[in-house]
Structure 1
Amino acid sequence: MIQQEAIAFLKDLAENNNRDWFQSKQDSYQKYRKHYLELAQELLSGVQEFDLGMADVEAKKVVFRINRDIRFSKDKSPYKTHMGFWISPAHANNPKAGYYLHVDPKGSFLAGGIYMPEAKDLKKIRTEIAFFYDDLQEILSEKKFKTAFDDLQRDEHTLKTAPKDFEKDHPAIKHLQLKSFIVQRDIPFDDLFKSNFISDVVANFKIIKPLNDFLNRAFDVAD
């Protein structure tokens, strides 16, 4: 479960998002950071039980620095006020779908898939969908998946028509229009403190695995 103290720290940080306050709360931050890493390890261990592709992932690679990148942001608040966990074998030269958990006093969720891949990788995924749409449909229509996530999310980046080189009347057109291939589920605030919180998240990630496997197939094709 998430510790109440960790959520309290994030709330306080949101109200005092400046370097002086943060430096004065180093004891609290170190406790929060320790809990953050422990959660990452527990979450990762759960995923590694069903996804062998995550065998070499380390817990320290699952978490994010608390410092925000404010170089190109209008919001100059220096620190992140949420916990993020990204479990994927991806690295700079090897994009992969994965699993994400977002813990935030203002709203938490879990998700999976791949967000805004580069153009060449987006083309690979769309090609996989176009040629093997039946495989994707089987995953998305599976009862547990449908109950947990319903369908891939559409967002402001979704195309209004067919992408270049794909047919407008393709049966997979609503998925070919996507630029991200994500499923997401909101987490009620009180659920963060339940003893089975992590196991519940892992169970949802397990439902996402067939989708991730399908998306990652696209990257196995030679350029």
Structure 2
Amino acid sequence: MKQILDYLAALEQNNDREWFHAHKEEYRAAARQFEELVGVLLLRLRELDGSIPPAKPGELCFKLMRDTRFSHDKSPYNPAFRAHIGPKGKLPIPVGYFLFLRPGDRSFLGGGLFADCFKDATDMVRQRISAQGGEWQRLLSDPAFASRFTPQGSRLKRVPQGYESDHPQAEYLKYKSWYLEVPVTDRQLLGEGFLDEAIETFAAMRPFNGFLNEALTGFVMPQRPGK
């Protein structure tokens, strides 16, 4: 794990194509170590969540290259290793388990719906929270869940049209995405117990993911133009 953190720290300090290409071997070594970690997590997650299919670890990992076309930040690389282990691999829907590694105590374990750009997905989750508000509240109030997690997400200022402003779950109906993040320090990453801690955390997220995926049944990922 130290190899991963050291490489990413160096990339953050030298975020340009010339440095990246001059240090391709260091990148390959760090990427291999990350894929090995994802592979182990995948095997263990499949033991506790039957919705996770077999996959090649590399297929679950995101590239370091950034799309800078519409960004003020023109740094070509995202100095973080990221992977999503879900029912459809690294596709954000159905939701799954997200691993984000970045040095400086900026790593985290995540779950839920991070993307708020899919309007149909947002509508589907809102409808289920509206119709199954009691189930949603029981999930969030469960001591095993509440002691670990606080749902996050981008949100509107007001309850959207079509929903009751005095609904018991009105605050969550404002959300456009619903996700969980558990911070991970560099010291935790380097410790011997990190894998067990990660699996324990992901296991505790499973009911949250399950609720969202029930809501998202039948969702179709939009096709890119020209596809």
Q: Distance in 2 between matches of 1:82 and 1:215?
A: 26
1:23: how far off? Answer: 1.4
1:91: how far off? Answer: 7.2
Query: Which amino acid in the other structure matches residue 172 of structure 1?
Result: Q
Match of residue 213 from structure 2: 216
Equivalent residues of 1:57, 1:89 under 8 A apart: no
Structure possessing the higher relative contact order (Cα contacts under 8 Å, 6 or more residues apart): 1
Q: Distance in 2 between matches of 1:92 and 1:99?
A: 9
- When normalised by structure 2's length, the TM-score is 0.89
The reply on whether 1:184 has 2:181 as its aligned counterpart is yes
Q: Which moved more, 1:52-61 or 1:76-85?
A: 52-61
The reply on whether 1:118 has 2:111 as its aligned counterpart is no
Equivalent residues of 2:84, 2:90 under 8 A apart: no
Deviations 1:140-195 (A, max 9, x none): 1111111111x3115xx312221110000011101111111111111122101011
Match of residue 140 from structure 1: 140
Match of residue 164 from structure 1: 161
User: In structure 2, do the counterparts of structure 1 residues 109 and 91 end up closer, same or farther at CA, with 3 Å as the change threshold?
Assistant: closer
Q: Runs of 5+ in structure 2 lacking a partner?
A: 221-227
1:54: how far off? Answer: 0.7
Q: Distance in 1 between matches of 2:119 and 2:18?
A: 42
Equivalent residues of 2:85, 2:97 under 8 A apart: yes
Query: Which amino acid in the other structure matches residue 141 of structure 1?
Result: S
Counterparts of 1:1-223 in structure 2, within 5 Å, are 3-90=1-88, 95-106=93-104, 107-115=106-114, 116=116, 118-149=118-149, 151-154=150-153, 157-220=154-217
1:90: how far off? Answer: 3.8
1:117: how far off? Answer: 5.0
Computed over aligned residues only, the root mean square deviation of the Cα atoms, in angstroms, reads 2.0
1:34: how far off? Answer: 0.8
Q: Distance in 1 between matches of 2:89 and 2:45?
A: 18
User: In structure 2, do the counterparts of structure 1 residues 222 and 9 end up closer, same or farther at CA, with 3 Å as the change threshold?
Assistant: closer
Q: Distance in 1 between matches of 2:132 and 2:95?
A: 17
Match of residue 224 from structure 2: none
Deviations 1:16-47 (A, max 9, x none): 11111111112211111110110110111121
Q: Aligned residues: percent identity?
A: 29
Structure 1 residue runs of 4 or more that deviate by more than 3 Å after TM superposition: 90-94
1:222: how far off? Answer: 8.3
1:57: how far off? Answer: 3.9
Q: Distance in 1 between matches of 2:4 and 2:90?
A: 31
Q: Which moved more, 1:56-65 or 1:140-149?
A: 56-65
Q: Distance in 1 between matches of 2:207 and 2:65?
A: 33
Q: Runs of 5+ in structure 1 lacking a partner?
A: none
Q: Distance in 2 between matches of 1:214 and 1:113?
A: 9
